[in-house]
Structure 1
C-alpha cells in the first residue's frame, strides 16, 4: 500500500501506481504516474490526510531523482502534522527519511530512522512493502559492514520479491546486495556468482541504473582481487554512461592510480570531489580527499592530518573497515620513513578497528 489512509477509490489507486513505479526505480513511469495524480489533486486539496500522503510520496519521488534540496523542503511541510499521523503515515515518514539519509551517506542516521519505521511495519498488509523495508535496511547494514545482518535481511526481502514477477528487478537488487556482502567477506567466487546472476536479471528489465550499479560492483569485485585491468573495463563502461556515483568516481580513480595512470585518475578524482559536495556525500568526499593526499607531494605531517581527519569521520560513523584500511596505510608510510613509534601507533589503531569489526559480527 502507498502511504495513505483515504477511502479506497481512484485516487488511492493512482497513489499506489505512483509508489510502485518509485519502488521499481522506474523514473519515467514514476513521472507519468505523478502527473496523473496531480491532474486529480484539485478536488482533494481539502483532504489533509491525502495531502500529507501526497507530500510524503513527492518527498520519496525527489529522493529517487536525487533532488535532495527539494526533498528536504517537502519534508518540512509535513513536520507540523506528524503528531497526528496514523501508523501507516508514521511508518512512511520514518522509512523515507531513512532512505534520504542513506542517499547522502549518513548511515547511522539512516539506520535509526529505519528502526523507528520497523516498529510500525507490522501494521502494513503490503507484502512487497515488507520486502522493500528488509532490502533497504540490509543495504545500510552492508554499508556499515555488518554483513551477517545484511544477508539475513536481504534473504527475507528476496523471498518475498521472488513471488512477484513484476518485481523481478528487485530480485536482481537482492542478488547484487548478496554479491557485495560476499566481497566484504572475501568470498570472491560466491560474489561473482551472485553478481553475474544479478546482471542477467537486470538485463531483462528496463532498470538502467541497476544495470550500471551491478557493473560497478563487478568492477569493485575485480578491484578487490587486484585485477585492475578487468576492474577498469567495467568501471569505464559505467563512467561512460554518465553514472557519476561517487563510488564509481573513487574506484576508477583508485584503479588508474594503481596502474600508474595519474593523468587519467586526477580529472576523475576532482570530478568526484565536486559531485560529493553537490550531493553532500561526506563519506566519499573523505575517501577521495585521502586518496588525493596519498598521491600528492604533501609533507608527512600534512598527509597525517588529512588521513586522520578521515579516520575520525569513519570512527564517528562506525565504519571500522575504513578505519583499519587507512590506519594501516598510514602505519606503513611511517614505518618506511623509520618513524617506528608513529608506525606502531597506527598499526595498533588498525588492530583495534579490526577487533571491533570481528566482535561486532560475532555478537550478531
Structure 2
C-alpha cells in the first residue's frame, strides 16, 4: 500500500484540471491529462474520486466536441445518482442530466437533449458555483441555437455572457459567447453585426493565441460567408479551419466543416468534392455519428448522373432524416436535392422536395415534442 498515491493528492490534481477545463484552457487541460491518468492508475481505492475523474474526463471530451471516440463507460451511461443521500450525489444528479443533454445535442437527438436540459434546469439549485450555472445557460443557449429558437438562445447566452464578463480570467468563455451571439445574428440576417462580433472575437483570440478557439472562429466566419453566398471566401475559410492540427481533436467541428465545404464544392462542380465527402463519411463512421453519415451519403448521391436507383437512394436517405426530425438540417438538405433534380429537368420530383422543405421549415424554431 505504501506505493499508492493518496486519493486526496489526486483530488487536488482533479480540482486543478477542472479549473482549466472550466476556463476553456483546453491546451493546458490536454497536457494535464496524461499525468492525471497515471495518478489514477496508482491511486488508493476511492470511488468518489474515480467518479469525479470520469465526470471531468467526459467534460473535457464535451469541450473538445470529441464524444463518441474511445469512450468506455462514459458518465452519461450511468444510472442517475441517488439524490436522497448527500449533497455530492445531488450535484452528480444535476451533472448526469446536464451532460446527457449536451451529449444528445451533439448527436442531434434534440428531443432527448431538451428533455435532459429541462430536468437539469430544475436541479440548478444544487449548484453553488455561478460559473457552473453560467455553463448551463451557455449550453442550453447552444441547443436553442441548433433548434433555431433564436430569442431563447440569445436570452440564455446573455445570462452566461454577463457572468463570464464579470470574471476577467474567463476570457475564452467570453469569446465563445460572442461567437454564439454572432451565429444568432446570422439567423436574423444581421450579417454586418455578426461580422463585427467575429472581428471582436478575433482580436480577443489573438491576444491569447489560442488555436482551439481560432478554428471555431474561422469555421463560423466561413458559415457567415456561405450564408451571404460568397462561396469562394467561405471555401477558403473552411479550408483554413481544416489546416490546423487542433481540428483533429474536435470531431464535430471537423464534420461540420467537411460538410459545408462539400456542399460548396458540389455547387461549384469541383472535382475535389468527392475527396471531401469521402473524408466526411470516414470520420462520421469512426465517431459513430449517424446523422452525419446519412448527410454525407446523401451529398455523394448528388455527384452522380440521375438514374432510378440513385433517385431511390436519395429518397430513402431523406426519409431517414425526416424520421429523426432534424428539421433545421432538412430544410436546407431538401432544397439542395430539389435544386439538383431541377437542374436535371426532373421538375415534378423537384417540386415534391421543395414541398417537403417547406414542411420542414414550418417546424424550424418551434422546438421539439
What is the match of residue 6 of structure 1?
Answer: none
What is the match of residue 159 of structure 1?
Answer: 162
What is the match of residue 258 of structure 2?
Answer: 249
Deviates more, 1:84-93 or 1:322-331: 322-331
What is the match of residue 324 of structure 1?
Answer: 331
Cα 1:315–1:67, aligned 2, differ >3 Å: closer, same or farther? closer
Distance 2:76 2:197 in 1: 40
What is the match of residue 348 of structure 1?
Answer: 355
Q: 1:319: Cα distance to partner? A: 2.5
Distance 1:212 1:190 in 2: 20
Cα 1:77–1:270, aligned 2, differ >3 Å: closer, same or farther? closer
What is the match of residue 128 of structure 2?
Answer: 125
Distance 2:69 2:13 in 1: 25
Deviates more, 1:203-212 or 1:100-109: 100-109
Distance 1:277 1:92 in 2: 28
After the TM superposition, which residues 17-166 of structure 1 pair with which residues of structure 2 at under 5 Å, given as runs?
17-34=16-33, 45-64=44-63, 66=66, 68-75=68-75, 78-79=78-79, 86-166=89-169
* Residue pair 1:15, 1:37 contacting (<8 A) in 2 also: yes
What is the match of residue 285 of structure 1?
Answer: 293
Q: 1:229: Cα distance to partner? A: 1.8
What is the match of residue 251 of structure 2?
Answer: none
What is the match of residue 238 of structure 2?
Answer: 235
Residues 273-332 of structure 1, C-alpha deviations (whole Å, 9 max, x = no match): 111111122232222222221121241x33433333343343344332332233334444
Which structure has more RCO (C-alpha within 8 Å, separation ≥ 6)?
2
Q: 1:340: Cα distance to partner? A: 5.2
Deviates more, 1:159-168 or 1:29-38: 29-38
Q: 1:42: Cα distance to partner? A: 8.2
Cα 1:38–1:356, aligned 2, differ >3 Å: closer, same or farther? closer
Q: Which runs of 5+ in 2 are unaligned?
A: 1-7, 249-253
Cα 1:16–1:169, aligned 2, differ >3 Å: closer, same or farther? same
Q: Secondary structure at the match of 1:71?
A: coil
* Residue pair 2:338, 2:351 contacting (<8 A) in 1 also: yes
Residues 141-174 of structure 1, C-alpha deviations (whole Å, 9 max, x = no match): 2122222221111111111111111110111101
TM-score if structure 1 supplies the norm length?
Answer: 0.84
After the TM superposition, which residues 206-245 of structure 1 pair with which residues of structure 2 at under 5 Å, given as runs?
206-242=209-245, 243=247, 245=254
Q: Which runs of 5+ in 1 are unaligned?
A: 1-8
Q: 280, 284, 294: which is aligned to 1:276? A: 284
Deviates more, 1:142-151 or 1:48-57: 48-57
Cα 1:268–1:69, aligned 2, differ >3 Å: closer, same or farther? closer
Distance 2:42 2:345 in 1: 75
Q: 1:136: Cα distance to partner? A: 1.0
State the aligned residue count.
351
Cα 1:260–1:348, aligned 2, differ >3 Å: closer, same or farther? closer
* Residue pair 1:216, 1:234 contacting (<8 A) in 2 also: yes
* Residue pair 1:246, 1:272 contacting (<8 A) in 2 also: yes
What is the match of residue 357 of structure 1?
Answer: 364
Q: Does 1:205 align with 2:208?
A: yes
* Residue pair 2:182, 2:197 contacting (<8 A) in 1 also: yes
Distance 2:20 2:140 in 1: 20
* Residue pair 1:62, 1:71 contacting (<8 A) in 2 also: no
What is the match of residue 3 of structure 1?
Answer: none
Q: 1:250: Cα distance to partner? A: 1.4
Deviates more, 1:114-123 or 1:56-65: 56-65
